[in-house]
Amino acid sequence: MVKWTEEERRIIRGVWEKVDIDEIGEELWARALIVYPWIDRYFGSFGDIFTTTAILKNPKLAALGKVVLSALDTAVKNMDNFKALYAPLSRQHYEKIKVDPDNFRLLAECITITIACKLRAELNPQVQATWQKFLSAVVEAMNSQYK
Amino acid sequence: MVKWSDFERAAIQDIFSKIDYDVVGRAAFSRCLIVYPWTQRYFGSFGNLYNAAAITSNPKVAAHGKVIMAGLEKALKNMDDIKTTYKDLSVLHSEKLQVDPDNFNVKLFSFYCLTIVVAGQMGAAFTPEVQGAFQKFLAVVVASLRKQYY
């Protein structure tokens, strides 16, 4: 498991405190689906997801956004052992949903860009570096059950 | 050749018209050196890069940020043939500077950091569609820089 300094923990919690789970949850899907449109192959049953307007009004995406960010919340609250906690999630994405693991990295980038738009100058280089270290660990945890 | 929609052209031109090249170039390149410290190996002659404060106040870093932005401006002014415009630049990076082309990847290096800096500057105006157009532009730039590697 990754080692965190006190400073890094403080920075990650500081970023996370400013995240509104509902707001960011919707926006991250808008960015992912518009910028990486092939992702829509995973959302066949979600209805209209083809324009930003439709995405931001889509209740299934809103709900899924909350699910994703709640999982991130779990990681923030368990920074020393979330890899084990994520094993069932990873297994589910590998076996059931069959998500190409490259998409975890893309979603992580969309999360960071969404946060950059909200936090602006507060996401300074040090904060960006720490936040990306955290998301890399999350992406690795999501990859852990892939063979 | 790459096709650009009217929206994409307008969005990309708009971004570049709004940013201060000096500020953004320095900010993006500094972030690259801070967030991906192994990229510092290409800048051994730049002096003090020991910590974030040193990097952000280093005048050679600022100057190189300007060089990168000037390169991007060339691409902006020749959007319909970036590949040809970048031929010499690509040769320079592969033969003289010997940069590992992985470093041009949109997910690494200055271009992802540039996206973060632009997002921070534009805030809500950096919509998903604008992000898509900007990332497409950077992807074309990356492909053109890699073109002369063999």
- Residue B9 counted as domain residue: no
- Residue B81 counted as domain residue: yes
Which has more confidence, A79 or B41?
Answer: A79
**Is B30 within 8 Å of B56 (Cβ atoms)?**
yes
Out of B23-27, B39-43, B77-81, pick the least confident: B39-43
- Residue B8 counted as domain residue: no
pLDDT of residue B110: 65
Domain boundaries, chain A: 6-143
- Tell me what the mean pLDDT of segment B23-33 comes to: 93
- Residue B80 counted as domain residue: yes
- Residue B56 counted as domain residue: yes
Q: Residue B121 has what DSSP assignment?
A: H
pLDDT of residue B107: 45
pLDDT of residue B39: 84
CATH number of domain containing B98: 1.10.490.10
pLDDT of residue B36: 86
| A41-62 residue pLDDT tens | 999 999 999 888 999 899 999 9
- Tell me what the mean pLDDT of segment B71-93 comes to: 91
Class of domain A6-143: mainly alpha
Whole domain around residue B63: which residue ranges? 19-146
Q: Do B128 and A129 touch (CB under 8 A)?
A: no
Tell me how far apart the alpha carbons of residues A26 and A110 are, in angstroms, rounded to a whole number: 11
Nearest to B92 by CA among B71, B77, B109, B113: B71
- Residue B4 counted as domain residue: no
Tell me how far apart the alpha carbons of residues B28 and B149 are, in angstroms, rounded to a whole number: 25
Q: Do A116 and B120 touch (CB under 8 A)?
A: yes
Of the residues A26, A33, A35, A119, the best mutation for testing chain B's interface (the one with the most B CB atoms within 10 Å of its CB) is A35
> How many Cβ pairs within 8 Å bridge chains A and B?
60
- Tell me what the mean pLDDT of segment B113-133 comes to: 95
Q: Is A129 on the interface with B (CB under 8 A)?
A: yes
Q: ipTM, 2 decimals? A: 0.84
The tally of domains found in chain B comes to 1
- Residue B11 counted as domain residue: no
pLDDT band at B109 (very low <50, low <70, confident <90, very high): low
Identity of the residue in B35, B119, B131 whose CB atom sits nearest the CB atom of A129: B35
Q: Do A113 and B126 touch (CB under 8 A)?
A: yes
